Amino acid sequence: MKPQIFISAATAGSGKTLFAMGLSRLLKRRGYRVQPYKCGPDFFDSQLLSIASGNDTVNLDTWLSTHNHAQYLYNKYGERSDVCLTEGAGILFDGYRRMLGSSAEMAGLLNVPVILLVNARMVGYSVAPLIYGFKNFYSGIRIAGVVFSQITSQAHYMRLREACADVSVDCLGYIPSMDTFKLPSKRSVISLANRRSYNELSDEIASQLEETVDVNRLLGKCNRNFPCQYTLPYSSEADPELSILPIRKIKIAVARDPAFCFTYRENISRLKSLGEITYFSPLYGSELPEADLVYLPGGYPEQFARQLHRRYKMMEELKNYVENGGKIWAEGGGMVFLGRTLKSRENGTAYPMSNVLPVDFTVLSVPKLCSGYRKMICGEQEFKGYEFRYSSLLQDDTPSNYNAALITDLKGADIGLPLYRYKNVFASYVHWYFGDKDILKMWE
C-alpha cells in the first residue's frame, strides 16, 4: 500500500501543473520519495515535475505505447517510491479520440484515484452539477476529491464546499487567486537561471498548499495497493529487459543541455540497456565523445542559434563522424542542428549549423506551434511519436532518396515531412518513443 495520486482538471486553467509541482515539493519536504509521472507526450511539464520532486519524470501514454507497457513503466519506477504522483494531460476526459488517450483512460488503467482541480473563478454553487457529472460520467475511475483554484475569499470557498457536500464529493482544499503563481511559456528553456526560479515557484506553492489543502486527508484518500495489476491479455513485450539484447555493448553519446532536452526517460533507459551512455553538450562543449551511436534529441536550438554556430569544432566532428559512417538518431531540434543553416527569426541571420543535411530552418515572425501525434513504418517496425516545434523548414534541397519513411498523423494523412536518411543518419521533426523498440534494427 502507498499513496498514488492522479491529478487532473475539469476545465482549462485549473492550475493542474502548479498543484502537481507544489504537492510534489511539499511531499519531498516531508521526507517522502516522490515518483512523478506525466500522462501524455508533454516534455515541458515533465521537466517542471522533475525539478519539483527531485526525481526524473516518466511519461505514460496509451497511444505512444501499449497499455501493458504503460503499466509496466508505472510499476517499474514506482517500486522504490513512497508516493506515486501522476499529472494528467489536459482535461480529464479529453483524448485524441473521445476518451482514448485521455487522463481518464490512464487513471482507469492504473486503478489510481483522481484528484480533480476545478477553476472556481467567477462561479459558486453552480460547480455542483459540474462535479456531479465528472463523478458519475465514467464508472472506470474514482474521483477521490476536489481541490479548487482561483478562490477569492473564504465566503467563496464555503459556497464551493457546500456544493461538494451536496454531490457527495470530498473537498480537500483550495489554491487562492494569486498572480505570483504563474507558469512560464512552454517555449521557455530550462536554463540554470530558470531552474532556480522554478525551484522557488515550487517552494511557494508548497507553502501555500500546506495552509489551504488537507494533504494528510488527500494521502489517505489515495492510499492504494501497489503495484497496479496488468490488463489482460498481458504481453511480456511490455518489458524491454526481456527482449534480446546485443551481445556487444555499444558506446552511445547523448546530447543533453538547455538546447537539447526533450527526452523520454524510458528512451534513455532503453539506450542504457544497449550500452554505455556518455552525455555531451553541443551548446557548451567542443568535442563529440567516441561513440557507436549518437542521439540528438529535440529542444529549442533556435533560441541558442548564435551560441551553437560558434561550436565549429563540435559541428565539424559531427560532420566527419557522419561521413565516416557514424550512426545518428536525430529528433526535432536535433535534426535542426544537423541542418545547413538556422534563423532564430524570419528576417534574422542565417547561422551555419553542422551541414549534414542540405536543409535550412527558421522561426516565423509570429512563431507558430506545430504539434500532434505521428507514426511511421520503417523496416519491420512501427514507430509512434509526438511532434512539438516552433521552428519551420525554410529550404529543403534533399534528393528524393533521402526519404526513408512516410510520416503520418493520427488519421494516416501525410504530414509533408519525411524521415530523412543520409548514410547512417536518421532524422525527423518528430520525437519518437522507442522505449519498447529495438532501435538498432534501423541500421540492419
pLDDT mean by block of 10 residues, the chain; 444 residues: 97 92 98 97 93 96 94 96 97 95 97 96 93 96 96 94 96 85 65 79 95 97 93 61 61 96 95 96 94 96 94 96 98 97 93 97 88 91 94 94 94 93 97 93 89
Burial class of residue 97 (count of CB atoms within 10 Å of its CB; 0-12, 13-18, 19+) = exposed
Give me the half-sphere count of Cα atoms (radius 13 Å) on the Cβ side of residue 114: 32
> Who's near 149: CB < 8 A, 6+ residues apart?
14, 15, 18, 19, 117, 118, 119, 120, 121, 174, 175, 177
Number of structural domains (the chain) is 2
Distance from the Cα of residue 139 to its chain's centroid: 28
Same domain, yes or no, for 182 and 286? no
Contacts of 15 (CB under 8 A, 6+ apart): 9, 117, 119, 149, 150, 175, 181
Q: Do 322 and 353 belong to one domain?
A: yes
Same domain, 163 and 259: no
Query: Collapsing DSSP states into helix, strand and coil, what is residue 368?
Result: coil
Structure-block grid coordinates of residue 173? 482544499
- How high is the pLDDT of residue 192? 64
d(CA 192, CA 430): 26
The amino acid at 352 = P
Residue 249 has a pLDDT of 87
In a domain, 59, yes or no: yes
- Domain at 50, CATH number: 3.40.50.300
Q: What number of other Cβ atoms are within 10 A of residue 384's Cβ?
A: 20
Residues 287 and 386 in one domain: yes
DSSP string, 98-132: TTBTSHHHHHHHHT-PEEEEEE-TT-STTHHHHHH
Of the candidates 194, 224, 254, which is a domain's last residue?
Answer: 224
Residue whose grid cell is 529549442: 300
pLDDT value, residue 187: 59
The answer to whether the bond into 233 is cis (omega within 30° of 0) is yes
Residues 270 and 408 in one domain: yes
Residue 230 lies in a domain: no
What cell was used for 368? Answer: 507558430
Is the domain of 298 the same as that of 186? Answer: no
* Shared-domain flag, residues 369 and 418: yes
Q: Among candidates 59, 363, 51, which has minimal Cα distance to 187?
A: 363
Taking the CA of residue 278 as centre, how many other CA atoms within 13 Å lie in the half-sphere pointing to its CB?
15
Where among 196, 224, 252 does a domain terminate? Answer: 224
Residue 366 pLDDT:
83
The x, y and z cell numbers of residue 145, run together, are 476529491
My answer on whether 201 and 343 are in the same domain is no
Place of cell 489510481: 112
Q: Name the amino acid, one letter, at 239.
A: D
pLDDT for 195: 79
Task: Note the pLDDT of residue 444.
Answer: 83
- One-letter amino acid of 399: P
Q: What pLDDT does 242 receive?
A: 45
Q: What residue numbers bound the domain in which 312 lies?
A: 240-443
Domain identity same for 51 and 110 = yes
Residue pair 107/88 in contact by the 8 Å Cβ criterion: yes
The secondary structure of 137-154 as a DSSP string is S-TTS-EEEEEEEEE--H
Beta bridge partners of 224: 2
- pTM exceeding the 0.85 threshold for the entire prediction: yes
Both 120 and 185 in one domain: the answer is yes
Residue 386 included in any domain: yes
